[in-house]
Structure 1
Amino acid sequence: MADMLRMADIPLGYEHAMRDVIERHQVWAYLIAVVFGLSVDWTSSLGDSVPDYLIWGLLGVLLYATFTQTPLTHLSDMFRDRRFMGALLTGNFLVMPAITALLILALPDNDALKLGVLLVLLMPCTDWFVTFTHLGKGDSTRAIAATPVLLIAQLGLLPLYLWLFMGNQFDVNLELGRHLLPAFGGLIIVPLILAFLTEKWAENSRKAIGFIRFMGLMPVPLLTVVLFIISMTQVSQIDSTGSLIWPLMILFPAYLLAAALVGKALRRVFRLPVETGRTVIFSLGTRNSFVVLPLALSMPEAWAVAVVVIVVQSLLELFGMMLYLRWVPSRLLPDT
């Protein structure tokens, strides 16, 4: 993506300033959206009148906007840094899934709750991971380059993970085939292909470059609206699953602590520079909550708790990242 911007040779000061302001205040925007959405539905019945196609349409545009900020046309560049790539893939797709499998053992015996936790913790982030890496004094250039690899790897491995962790116990394979795969194709694969085509177009078009820059300002506002609508329509689920949600207040912070310690260990194993090690830590700590949100929303009513789990995780993660920004560069991996 940086190559595209250099090609156009267009001043970026205004776009950078706006994006920086939006991303620095995104935590409060999401929190206000959730609280306002809950309060609206608690005091009225507006949530019942929200059409499903509005949520699906917003999610589709949100994912497309996010994917256009991922350098999908430069996948081969990432594999040149083998040590960083090895640490990133080992942590995200071997170590942290194993830790997640252990964490869900402590959850109540509720299939939908465990599915929600697995969906959100098995998918490494590809958007605000870059933002927090930059703010946390990591290597944002490597973070940007890593995002397409992380995205494609997780989309390919998610069905395998669900089969390994839940398939034999809860017959998730049947649910996956009937509900998750159609949503996966329609709301993830289609925006992914469109984003790839847009980036190819931008290699030879200044208009396309400007359009991609504009879309770069959209993920946070769009996600804020999505969280508001989902919160407004999920009050009944929150009321009925309140006792199930409380264990998540321990589980998700425990995951964040484990991610930081694993990232520090991987930095030593793969002999990475300090900034690159911080990048690994922020990658392990951030999850792709809104990418798996459409998958959870596509499930039948019996699995609706998974949606609440994903919303709770995203909010706890954002506050956790605020702590990461202070702790990681100053205490956990300080400059040598």
Structure 2
Amino acid sequence: MDNINKFQSFIILIMVAIGIILGQINIVQRYAEYLIMPALMIMLFLVFIQIPLKEIGKSFKNFKFTITSVVMNFIWTPIIVFILGKVFLHNQPETLIGFVMLMVTPCTDWYLIFTGISKGNVALGSSVLPLNLVLQLVLLPLYIFIIGGTSVSINIVSLAKGVIYSLLIPLTLAIIFRKIIISKIGIERFEEKWICKACDYQGYFLNLAIVSMFASQGKVLLENLQILLILLVPILLFFLINFIAGRFIGRMINLNYEDNVALNLTTLARNSPIALAIAVATFPDKPLISLALIIGPLIELPMLFLISKILLNIREKEQVA
């Protein structure tokens, strides 16, 4: 994995600061919003082109791991998010929607970095990536309506358009381009040359989207700095609950350390770029939703680093024992 993803938490802070500074220039603030959606669409195209969706069936070779991760990500996690959202964010409707969109979408990239750092089974974690991607694309609109739909008026047509523009178009183009490129140069050269570059450039375009977002909405954020504090407790509780649940369930189904780490990280790391793209397309007049999705990783990524250290300590103790 590339350095821009390894240090994404620190980079996000820099991009936020640059965006807020540039947003003080009136002409920049006025036109920055027009860069957000194109940057996110290109970023997601680069994410999707790395994912071999035709290999979804391979995830079921380890049926026990796959079923457990799917249940935790798409049944257990939405229940926890619903409870946390209603307890901590019931008076913050737009922040609640952002929180829901962030927490119910399993990660498709960063979790592999932290799985590797924790000496976990990266190959096993990778096996469920295509399945997680497809399921979250299908289920995210449903989660928004069920968990957050009563707090903010959601137009189903706008939500459908948001999913089409931000996800289906980049996904379709990525599938087509991936097939064409592999047919021309072969799968080995594609993985060696293209995936590395796509991984680099997806970070660049995500950063461009963040700068543009804060340049256009920086004043709104400065007026709502409490969002960071409001989100802090429910996000931290999510990580604590899911970490403990993942360790407990992994032991119940007799996963070894490496496989249990893969389960932990695929059920902890969240997919803020995809959720952000949908939010920008679906809720252009509700900037606090998008801001919640940008602020989320500022809490999430340091937590994943901390969890990686905890997992390594567990590994050392198990080896000594």
- Say yes or no: TM over 0.5: yes
Consecutive unaligned residues of structure 1, counting only runs of 5 or more, are: 1-18
Deviations 1:146-171 (A, max 9, x none): 1110000111111222222233x346
Query: Structure 2: which amino acid aligns with 1:177?
Result: I
* In 2, Cα distance between equivalents of 1:135 and 1:164: 36
* In 2, Cα distance between equivalents of 1:217 and 1:189: 22
* In 1, Cα distance between equivalents of 2:285 and 2:31: 20
- The 5-angstrom pairing of residues 209-288 of structure 1 reads 209=190, 210-288=193-271
Deviates more, 1:65-74 or 1:297-306: 297-306
* In 1, Cα distance between equivalents of 2:222 and 2:286: 15
Query: Structure 2: which amino acid aligns with 1:183?
Result: G
Alignment RMSD (CA, Å): 2.2
Normalising by structure 2, we get a TM-score of: 0.90
Query: Structure 2: which amino acid aligns with 1:193?
Result: T
1:79 aligns with 2:60: yes
1:318 pairs with one of 261, 278, 301: 301
Query: Structure 2: which amino acid aligns with 1:199?
Result: R
Match of 1:107 in 2: 89
Shift of 1:313: 0.4
Deviations 1:158-201 (A, max 9, x none): 1222222233x3464xx241322112111201111222223323
* In 1, Cα distance between equivalents of 2:270 and 2:247: 18
* In 2, Cα distance between equivalents of 1:252 and 1:212: 31
* In 1, Cα distance between equivalents of 2:99 and 2:28: 25
1:187 pairs with one of 153, 162, 166: 166
Shift of 1:61: 0.7
Normalising by structure 1, we get a TM-score of: 0.86
Secondary structure of the corresponding residue to residue 142 of structure 1: helix
* In 2, Cα distance between equivalents of 1:123 and 1:136: 22
Displaced runs of 4+ in structure 1, greater than 6 A? none
Decide whether aligned partners of structure 1 residues 47 and 314 sit closer, same or farther in structure 2, where only a CA change above 3 A counts: farther
Match of 1:88 in 2: 69
Decide whether aligned partners of structure 1 residues 322 and 85 sit closer, same or farther in structure 2, where only a CA change above 3 A counts: same
In the alignment of these two chains, the number of paired residues is 314
* In 1, Cα distance between equivalents of 2:151 and 2:59: 37
Match of 2:125 in 1: 143
Match of 2:312 in 1: 329
Query: Structure 2: which amino acid aligns with 1:130?
Result: L
Query: Structure 2: which amino acid aligns with 1:28?
Result: F
Report the identity percentage.
Answer: 22
